[in-house]
A and B are shown apart, each in its own frame.
Chain A
Amino acid sequence: MFARRREPWTDRQASWRLGAVASLVLLTIVLMVGFVAVRAWPTLQANGWVSWLGSGGSVDRQLGDMIKTGQDPPTAAYHLRAWPLIYGTILTTAVSVLVGLAFSLFSAIFIVEFAPARVRAVVVPAVRLLAAVPSVIYGLIGILVLAPFVGNHLISPGRKDSVQNVVQLDGTGVLVAIVVLTVMITPIMIAIVVDALRAIPPAWTEGASALGANRWEAIWTVSVRAARPAIVAAAVLACARALGEAVALSMVSGSRGFSPNPVDGITYIFEPIRPLAASMVENVDAINAPAVKSSIYAFALLLLLSSLVLSIGGYVAKLPMRRQGLRV
């Protein structure tokens, strides 16, 4: 009976069998997006499709009231204005990725071009080590070392008093969140960019040197330009990681759904925020209250959509490079 089993697969059979497994994976992913969308529906419906992204009132109080409404909440209980959380997410992600990208680019150039062999032997394992540290540890270092330092030494009492009736500055906030997030996403970017820079044929940079470019010019105008697809890929990956970072940020970002006000000047960077992923992790305990459940799934939908937009954005950013003949 099993003799027939042992016949080799034909190509057509193999194609659809393997394709079935790949489709299974795709199905799971589609199922995930579908589930999240369906469960987010009550919040979207009760608040209007986009007004829940706006601002209005304290989002902390709104979430807190949802927890108290129990199993059969009226439509008014789903009221949500999540702008402070979205603003916090965009702020931390954008600034960390930009700062991290610049830092990674220069570090990668350092590793590939300028570092003496002995220094390189130290820096490369250092990058791998940083990429390997779990996020809980970054969060711990943030609240045990960085936040007290910022709170006690960088925030003057006068500054705290000046905003005391609007917000409290206790060290955790935008600055510590951005620093922790940057340190978390930089190693990934460095690893990708270093790999890409190393893959450039040396003949290209040697050609540039032969034409009179110095080392910096050669690497900047030739290697970095050729490695642009990898830099875009690194930025997209880091952005995705930054958007999804929940645990470390819930510890260091200030624990208040507040929209920092740029008009405040330097105080702006000390004000507390709370990104979307951190809000999700903090409220997941209460997920069985229907209003909280659909709010959390609405945040999840937003994060999923943004990762979709990111990958489309990366693809679009690489299109002109593809036309220039770079292997994307």
Chain B
Amino acid sequence: MAATIEAPAPVAPAPHQRPAPRGDRLSSWKWSHRLAFLTCWACGIALCAVTLAIVVYMGVRGIQYLNPELLFTRPTPGLQQHTTGGILDPIMGTVILTIIGIAIAVPLAVTSAVWLVEYGKPAPLARAVESGIEVVAGTPDIVIAIFGLAIFQLPILAPLSFTASGGGVFGRSFLAAGAMMSLIALPMVFGATREGLMSIPTHVREASWALGKTRICTIRTILLPQVRANVATGAALGMGRIVGDTAVVVVLLGATLQLEPQGDVPILGNLRGTGSTLTSYVYGASPAGEGNAPQKAYAAAFVLLLIVLTLNFAVDYLGRRKETR
């Protein structure tokens, strides 16, 4: 049998290759729509321009003065820039504070979100919890900071910082600042967990109950593992807020440049002690504070920006992983 060569059947071009339909070409739009189109483009380009300007400015200033030695030397108070040391303690302070804040915020937020979505009785209490967390989300960080100052100077909370020889409670320590930072990160984790739990369809829960599992067992074995990615996203968002916060640190961390542990117990001592973070260091060393180490302030700001960017990529990655599942 003679093989017939058939011309390949004509294939319609893919959507993005087809010429734009006549109605979609700009020339056929009303002038107001054309104006809107141009505004959108202008806003988009302005956005890129502003970001570029900020990144270039901070990048140029930061990289200029950033050298590896700075990252590993401890800071000291000094009048001249070359006597003020490096930024090792602020970096460690940022890390410690973030860990404390998230360690307190995540269990509380996840528990509250689980209770709200899965139980939520009595209903007025549930609405109150929801509104309360919304209020915290909208509270300025300076208000949270002065609240922390007020309660941590009470004698009952003295073990969380230290009591000086004069009998007054110092009230400023990593634990104090960390507890207030957890309030700041709480709404993010709460919101993300709640979104995740609400997006799990009811039939998953019903199937589990039909098999005889109690509600709490369902939560623990089925629902929580599924919202892990949401919790991680919320935690990363919360960490971003903690890392970038200045007011709570300036008020509640004790304003010592180096990490000063309180007492001799290895970890507890540091938690009860004082220190500084990158944000308070930038605030103090830049023209916002004493201004006597502006170059180091830019270097520290650059490191801060890198840390926040890394956290953002982590959020992205976790979010994308969730989508592909």
Contact = CB atoms under 8 A, between A and B. Distances in A.
Q: Which 5 A-B pairs have the closest CB atoms?
A: A244-B140, A307-B138, A134-B244, A240-B138, A14-B216
Interface string B16-27: 000000011000
A109 B55 CA distance: 24
A50 interface: no
Contacts of B308: 132-134
A114 B283 contact: no
A323 to B, nearest CB: 19
A217 B36 CA distance: 10
Contacts of B39: 106
Contacts of B129: 22-23, 25-26
B183 A246 contact: no
B83 to A, nearest CB: 22
Interface string A204-243: 0000000010111100100000000000000011001001
Interface residues of A, number: 86
Nearest to A300: B143
Task: Point out which of A130, A133, A145, A186 has the most chain B C-beta atoms below 10 A from its C-beta.
Answer: A133
A36 B143 contact: yes
Contacts of B98: none
A212 B23 contact: yes
Interface in A117-134: 119, 122-123, 126-134
B29 interface: yes
Given A130-B50, A135-B246, A216-B29, A21 B143 contact: no
B324 interface: no
A44 interface: no
B24 A107 contact: no
B301 interface: yes
Contact of A132 (B111, B139, B244): B244
Interface in B42-76: 42-44, 46-48, 50-52, 54-55, 57-58
B301 A140 contact: yes
Interface of B: 23-24, 28-29, 33, 36-37, 39-44, 46-48, 50-52, 54-55, 57-58, 108-109, 111-112, 114-116, 119, 121, 125, 128-129, 131-147, 149-151, 183, 186, 214-217, 219, 240, 243-247, 250-251, 279, 282-283, 286-288, 297, 301, 304-305, 308-309, 311-312, 316
Nearest to B36: A216
Contacts of A143: 287-288
A124 to B, nearest CB: 10
Given A28-B183, A134-B304, A251-B287, 11 more contacts: A15-B121, A22-B129, A25-B108, A32-B147, A115-B44, A132-B240, A133-B305, A136-B282, A143-B287, A220-B36, A311-B134
Given A29-B136, A220-B36, A21 B111 contact: yes
A82 interface: no
A113 B39 CA distance: 13
Contact of A22 (B112, B216, B287, B311): B112
Nearest to B316: A128
Contacts of B52: 126
Contacts of B138: 236-237, 240, 243-244, 307-308, 310-311
A24 B105 CA distance: 12
Task: Point out which of A39, A103, A141, A214 has the most chain B C-beta atoms below 10 A from its C-beta.
Answer: A214
6 contacts: A18-B111, A19-B125, A23-B125, A128-B316, A133-B244, A300-B143
A246 B141 contact: yes
Contact of A246 (B50, B142, B312): B142
A33 B146 CA distance: 12
A24 B108 contact: yes
Nearest to A39: B150
